[in-house]
Structure 1
Amino acid sequence: MPDDCATVLPPVPAWQPTPLILASIALHALALGAVLWQFDLWPWALTALVLNHSVLTATGLWPRSQALGPNLTRLPEAAARRGEVALTIDDGPDPLITPAVLDLLDAHGARATFFCIAERARSHPELCRAIVLRGHAVENHSDRHRHSFSLLGPRGYARELQAAQVDLRHITGVTPRFFRAPAGLRNPFLGPILARHQLLLASWTRRGFDTRESRPAVVLHRLVHKLGPGDILLLHDGHAARTAQGRPVILEVLPALLHAIRTAGLTTVTLRVACATPDTPAAPARPQ
């Protein structure tokens, strides 16, 4: 088992509502009180609540937002000082792409964090085990990657996260500690469920949009433009777009991206290593 699987991460604190959520709760209480006091105020109360829910929805549709709760968009400062970046790869495992991605990572001595869909992991458990055995990390990307994920309530979130936690731990022998929402979209009900499962929400610093962009040069530019220490980069081995020649974009982009990271004097690490507690030695990254 790779060393970074045993890396100790700080515990996720108990959920606390953010200022936006507290303000929303207060607004709901005021609206109810106003209507009970004078029923004729209901149109104003309803308008205020519609506006409030519009703000909450817009916030949930902003993947890198911190307004609904903690959200890792960059590595901790200590990791940035060490010159570390995190390469994260979503939506797999895919039997036609993931093995080639692993071979490329091995060839460049790089490590990555794979946010896996549990439904796909159940179909290809050997790929998830290979990811971990070859020095990378498997984290939680929900059970089924539902397009309606941001519309779920507390029970729906609990089912999606718990099912993925159980199955990914059973398959790999390692309990996921990071969660990435499908497409990064969510709502205020997610925060308490994350805390219950000791999961840290992780988004990204920049992404290549490689599920719909078929030009590798464009994807690469989006990822390396202003590349710096502490960045979290996003690519996809599942739902990957294809080039004009039919080749998965990630396989065209990855060698050049890893070369750019090495040329910049940076080192790829898993999120677990980057976020290890200061008093716990992190497993060394592979030399690049």
Structure 2
Amino acid sequence: MEVFGHMQLTSVLWVLAGVVVLVNVGLGFLVMCPRCKVISSNLVRLPENAVKRGEIVLTFDDGPDAYVTPLILDQLDKYCAKASFFCIGKKAVAHPDLLAEIVRRGHSIENHSYNHRNLFAFCGMRKLTIEVLATQQVLNLANNSVNPRFFRAPFGFRSPWLGFVLRQLHMQHVAWTRRGYDTVCHNSDLVFRRLVHNLSAGDILLMHDGGSASTVTGQPVVLEVLPRLLECFEQHDLHSVSLPMALDNSGF
């Protein structure tokens, strides 16, 4: 009888261990899935009203960069396009003039954490709050004392606690509809094809003004892709706007 009872207990323990493993594997998958909406609110496309207006949003991560960001701004100006720049706090501190210039030209600056930690998704609530708030303070100064409303986690990987932190700060997490992998791909043609594949109004595109890969000629990939992308928008009657422009006009 004791042996039978011991076998039952052992079986239960194995089942519980299996459940724990499955839960952790499932949670790990959700954390590492940038476009997933299960963990918390996550914007991957624009609302229907923005779609009807033919709007699309270009987002640039990991800046500002002293060389690339000004050239991106010039290219956007040429096509009368607006965009949103998800800035790293410590880079923003180093380049306050670039932040001010981004805002002056009619684009939005948004929050991409202060340190862009590789293990950001595994931070506890206290560290997450510090990362977000420290960047808010920096961006606020350049943004006419207006706090950015949108946040994007480093690599798009989100802690289960991040949604709670953002709700407390009245912020929204933004992922993307499609990306070109311009930080790791040196082929500008391939990056461009990835971005325009099934492109449509309402898309949120991810590119980088910080850490962009270089082509064989040494030119940042993003600088070769962006003019072609903006031409493509014009050909398909798509209007590049910033996140606040698209969402404010949609009652978001």
Classify the TM-score, shorter chain.
over 0.9
> Could you tell me which residue of structure 2 aligns to residue 59 of structure 1?
30
Change (3 A) 1:102 1:151: same
Q: CA offset at residue 253 of structure 1?
A: 0.4
1:131 aligned counterpart, secondary structure? helix
Residue in structure 1 matching 2:138, options 161, 167, 172: 167
| Partner residue in 2 for 1:16 | none
Q: What secondary structure sits across from 2:248 in the alignment?
A: coil
2:126 aligned partner: 155
SS at match of 1:273: helix
Aligned counterpart, 2:81: 110
Unaligned 5+ runs, structure 1: 1-37, 281-288
**Whole-Å Cα distance in 1 between the matches of residues 195 and 73 of structure 2?**
19
1:251 aligned to 223, 235, 242, which one?
Answer: 223
Deviates more, 1:45-54 or 1:252-261: 45-54
- Cα distance per residue 1:103-146 (max 9 Å; x no partner): 00001110000000011000001001100000100000001101
Deviation for aligned residue 1:44:
2.5
Alignment match, 2:198: 226
Matched-pair contact (CA < 8 Å) for 1:93–1:128? yes
- Residue 13 of structure 1 corresponds to which residue in structure 2? none
Deviation digits for residues 37-66 of structure 1 (CA, Å, limit 9, x no counterpart)? x79834432321221011011011010001
Aligned partner letter, 1:176: P
Q: Secondary structure at the match of 1:195?
A: helix
Q: Is the alpha carbon distance of 1:218 and 1:142 closer, same or farther for their aligned partners in structure 2, counting shifts above 3 Å? A: same
Q: How does 1:22-61 map to 2 (within 5 A)?
A: 41-61=12-32
Structure 1 residue 233, shift from structure 2 partner? 0.6
Q: CA deviation at 1:278?
A: 4.6
Q: Is the 8 A contact 2:47 2:247 kept in 1?
A: yes
The total of aligned residue pairs comes to: 243
TM-score by length of 1: 0.82
User: What secondary structure sits across from 2:36 in the alignment?
Assistant: coil
Task: Tell me the amino acid that sits aligned with residue 107 of structure 1.
Answer: K
- Partners of 1:266 and 1:278 lie apart in 2 by 17
Tell me the percent identity. 44
1:276 corresponds in structure 2 to: 248
Instruction: Pick one of 176, 181, 188 that aligns with 2:153.
Output: 181
In 2, Cα distance between equivalents of 1:129 and 1:104:
17
In structure 2, do the counterparts of structure 1 residues 215 and 275 end up closer, same or farther at CA, with 3 Å as the change threshold? same
Match of 1:23 in 2: none
